[in-house]
Structure 1
Amino acid sequence: MESDLSSSWDMDDEYEKLIRRMNPPRVVVDNEACENATVVQVDSANRHGILLEVVQVLTDLNLIINKAYISSDGGWFMDVFNVTDRDGKKLKDEATVNGVKDFIRKSLGADSFFMPSKRRSVGVAASTDYTSIELTGTDRPGLLSEVCAVLNNLKCNVVNAEVWTHNTRAAAVMHVTDEATGLAISDPERISRIKELLCNVLKGNNKSRGARTAVSSVATHTERRLHQMMFDDRDYERSDVEPASDKVRPNVSVVNWYDKDYSVVTIRCKDRPKLLFDIVCTLTDMQYVVFHANIDTEGPEAYQEYYIRHIDGSPVNSEAERQRVMQCLEAAIERRVSEDLKLELCTSDRVGLLSDVTRIFRENSLSVTRAEVTTRGGKAINTFYVRDAGGNPVDPKTIDAVRQAIGLTVLQVKGNMEQLKTQQESPTRFLFGGLFKSRSLYNFGLLRSYS
């Protein structure tokens, strides 16, 4: 039976590639049609998951999608996107325009690695450069520090990682290498040991929700995979212990359009980069097909409207399903957002820098709720989102003391501290509280991006 299923999958895959070769995607980039944005039009043979693929490609190219029109009724798929660069400008450079067209065509071509399965990601391929570790579990103070201590003891070097926390849940994708060789870890016994010890750390004393550890040599699109992992971990379920919050929640509604047999999903929320990508990830993971969509930004607000059906052809057909769709889309919008005080660090890289900086945060009762850490050309360029670890508003004097200890020209305040002082601490995200008890995290080169 397993052999028959494998043969059927291979045949379907080859047939899909044949269809793509016969109907190669057409990409048009127009700088004249819109005054303040570059228009990217993508036409292709339709297949499940193609909308996510296109949106992911544009997101990976660091393009901001301001407006979009999607139509995929029948066998043909057509997308029109109004995009800008990160500075809100058109893509004027000819090399950039040609690069966008080539990258999209190659990504959608017959030999692209995209698979629509929920357990797979765009760009899936074996990697000999690193071993991928995926972690999910209940968030708690110092969890990431414990994980890194285990990896350090096992002589694993973390070359990059991303961690998200939401609704008391934590998920991480880490890429590690063997400390001695600098290559991926391939010994089965060692991999088994890594999984066992990390799973023990994730379980801790909390038996109410499960923990999961996976180790493989398969490369994944990290943000795509984090969405999958948190969805599988049901982070959209609100915790009973979560306190009431005055935070403005996304406005998500789902109604049925019976004449056309669609369900219409309408979303209004604060606009931000990668919002469309996050929403389409979750619709795809929930096995819904987007037949039409209109995406627009109105100043600081985004308006998105999707006409969907389940992959079996049916619209949302119960109140329980409607509520679940709304919950899951709210979670998708919230996962990567942090409203805490933003601190930016830029200085020459050195051994122990990240450990020293986060130790100073901890000694001053600051909890890091999210971080983006990277090194470029010998420079450490880091962003931290911090809040008071004790549940109190952040004191400006604390930030002054931290900046004095780290360096006034090295650490800059980018967030609105006065606004933050009026906010109350929510204990639902703990991963970075009391974190980084050793210097090992910096030595690993950990934490590429969390936002």
Structure 2
Amino acid sequence: MAWTHNTRAASIIYMQDGFRGGPITDPKRLAHVQEQLENVVEAHHGMGERRSVRLLAPAPGQQTHTERRLHQLMYANIDYEPCQGCNGGGAAHRNNCTKIHVFIESCEEKGYSVVNVRSRDRPKLLFDTLCALTDMQYVVFHAAVSSKGTMADQEYFIRQEDGCPLETDNERHRLTQSLIAAIERRITHGLRLDIRSDNRMGLLSDLTRALRENGLSISSAEIGANGDRAVGSFYVTDASGYEANPQAIEQVKKEIGGSIVAVNKSPGWTPKTSKSPSVASISRTSSGRSINEDKPRFSLGSLFWSQLEKLSNNFSSIRS
């Protein structure tokens, strides 16, 4: 499973020994695999950018909750920093604004901070919000959650682990950013491709190569093995975040074989439209300075998946 958000990417990949099956137990081979993964990740990062690769054997009797772990990885990667809250007061609500609103107030007589979140309703919204609060080590004492139509309202009475409410504007701003990021991470962008195929060694490599060579970038993905069949979904755009070219989708279908079904665009996603082959875009350096570019901006997702093919041999079922 892989998520991309705010130019950052996180993924969890379950690997098996491609020849013997089962986990890789040879320490030297494990070290070699981790070294190769680190080389791939490092190849597309500038100096000082945050990145990490960890190879872990599953603990006996325990199973990683994939989505919970992805939240932790993205939070540790500080993907929340570009997020800004909508703090326009009640007018935005009266105008049926569908953006994510976060309001944090103090309840001095009870010693709580009151967090109100308003956003589009969707599956696992409550789970994602609580992941953010837990990662930031806040304790929830009371909560109220409701939904009406397409919108959801969440209210939390929280304290820090030491029993104190939020005391500074920086703390409130960081919590606002983190809540928005947690809700945005799961929002899918692009056209969904449902894939059904016979499972074999190198299938994931072939899939990602075909997508890359046809100019498609993956914004999120979930794929695994179900018996002898590989089953999964990819959300794809073109390399600059525009709507995927139907001809590219058809070409991928021909190259991969099996069953690939293009489903409608993800809910709530409005694709950018391009009027010319060259699109001027704005990106920021690590110092925050804006620079103009006269070529399409390639997403981190496209860079990540373009190299993943070199390392993929086989995969087992992915469960959350």
Question: Could you say which TM-score interval applies, normalised by the shorter chain?
Answer: 0.7 to 0.9
Contact 1:343 1:383 in 2 (8 A): yes
Query: What is the DSSP-based 3-state SS (H/G/I as helix, E as strand, rest coil) of the residue aligned with 1:431?
Result: helix
Cα gap change, 1:252 to 1:207, in 2 (>3 Å): same
Who is 1:431 aligned against?
301
Who is 2:56 aligned against?
216
Contact 1:349 1:379 in 2 (8 A): yes
Cα gap change, 1:218 to 1:352, in 2 (>3 Å): closer
Cα gap change, 1:390 to 1:168, in 2 (>3 Å): closer
| CA–CA distance in structure 1, aligned partners of residues 151 and 20 of structure 2 | 49
Contact 1:355 1:437 in 2 (8 A): no
1:269 to 113, 119, 122: 119
Q: CA deviation at 1:449?
A: 7.1
2:243 matched to 1:396? no
| CA–CA distance in structure 2, aligned partners of residues 251 and 165 of structure 1 | 21
Q: CA deviation at 1:434?
A: 7.9
1:171 to 10, 13, 29: 10
Higher relative contact order (CA 8 A, sep 6+): 2
Contact 1:373 1:446 in 2 (8 A): no
Report matched runs for 1:242-391 at 5 Å.
249-391=99-241
Query: What is the DSSP-based 3-state SS (H/G/I as helix, E as strand, rest coil) of the residue aligned with 1:444?
Result: coil
Q: Which moved more, 1:332-341 or 1:220-229?
A: 220-229
| CA–CA distance in structure 1, aligned partners of residues 12 and 146 of structure 2 | 32
After superposition, the CA RMSD in angstroms is 3.4
Q: Which moved more, 1:286-295 or 1:163-172?
A: 163-172
Contact 1:289 1:308 in 2 (8 A): yes
Structure 2 length normalisation: TM-score? 0.74
Per-residue Cα deviation, 1:377-428 (whole angstroms, up to 9, x for no partner): 3333221101011454333344344445556x922221239x9774259958
Q: CA deviation at 1:331?
A: 0.9
| CA–CA distance in structure 2, aligned partners of residues 305 and 391 of structure 1 | 34
**Aligned residue type for 2:210:** I
Q: CA deviation at 1:193?
A: 4.2
Contact 1:394 1:421 in 2 (8 A): no
Structure 1 length normalisation: TM-score? 0.54
Contact 2:201 2:314 in 1 (8 A): no
Cα gap change, 1:442 to 1:333, in 2 (>3 Å): same
Per-residue Cα deviation, 1:227-252 (whole angstroms, up to 9, x for no partner): 2222122111129xxxxxxx964211
Who is 1:413 aligned against?
262
Who is 1:202 aligned against?
41
Contact 2:6 2:82 in 1 (8 A): yes
Query: What is the DSSP-based 3-state SS (H/G/I as helix, E as strand, rest coil) of the residue aligned with 2:55?
Result: strand
Per-residue Cα deviation, 1:78-120 (whole angstroms, up to 9, x for no partner): xxxxxxxxxxxxxxxxxxxxxxxxxxxxxxxxxxxxxxxxxxx
Who is 2:292 aligned against?
none
Cα gap change, 1:424 to 1:254, in 2 (>3 Å): farther
| CA–CA distance in structure 2, aligned partners of residues 405 and 180 of structure 1 | 25
Query: What is the DSSP-based 3-state SS (H/G/I as helix, E as strand, rest coil) of the residue aligned with 2:81?
Result: coil
Q: Which has the larger radius of gyration?
A: 1
**Aligned residue type for 1:346:** R
**Aligned residue type for 1:214:** R
Cα gap change, 1:305 to 1:345, in 2 (>3 Å): same
Query: What is the DSSP-based 3-state SS (H/G/I as helix, E as strand, rest coil) of the residue aligned with 2:13?
Result: strand
Q: CA deviation at 1:351?
A: 4.8
Q: CA deviation at 1:274?
A: 1.6
Query: What is the DSSP-based 3-state SS (H/G/I as helix, E as strand, rest coil) of the residue aligned with 2:313?
Result: helix
| CA–CA distance in structure 1, aligned partners of residues 53 and 215 of structure 2 | 30
| CA–CA distance in structure 2, aligned partners of residues 334 and 200 of structure 1 | 29
| CA–CA distance in structure 2, aligned partners of residues 193 and 357 of structure 1 | 24
Query: What is the DSSP-based 3-state SS (H/G/I as helix, E as strand, rest coil) of the residue aligned with 2:264?
Result: coil
| CA–CA distance in structure 1, aligned partners of residues 195 and 108 of structure 2 | 54
Contact 1:263 1:315 in 2 (8 A): yes
Q: CA deviation at 1:360?
A: 3.2
| CA–CA distance in structure 2, aligned partners of residues 411 and 217 of structure 1 | 32
**Aligned residue type for 2:261:** Q
| CA–CA distance in structure 1, aligned partners of residues 104 and 39 of structure 2 | 40
> What percentage of aligned pairs have identical amino acids?
40
Q: Which moved more, 1:310-319 or 1:293-302?
A: 293-302
Contact 1:362 1:434 in 2 (8 A): no
Per-residue Cα deviation, 1:301-350 (whole angstroms, up to 9, x for no partner): 22111110001111111111000000011111111221211121224445
Cα gap change, 1:429 to 1:299, in 2 (>3 Å): farther
Cα gap change, 1:252 to 1:395, in 2 (>3 Å): same
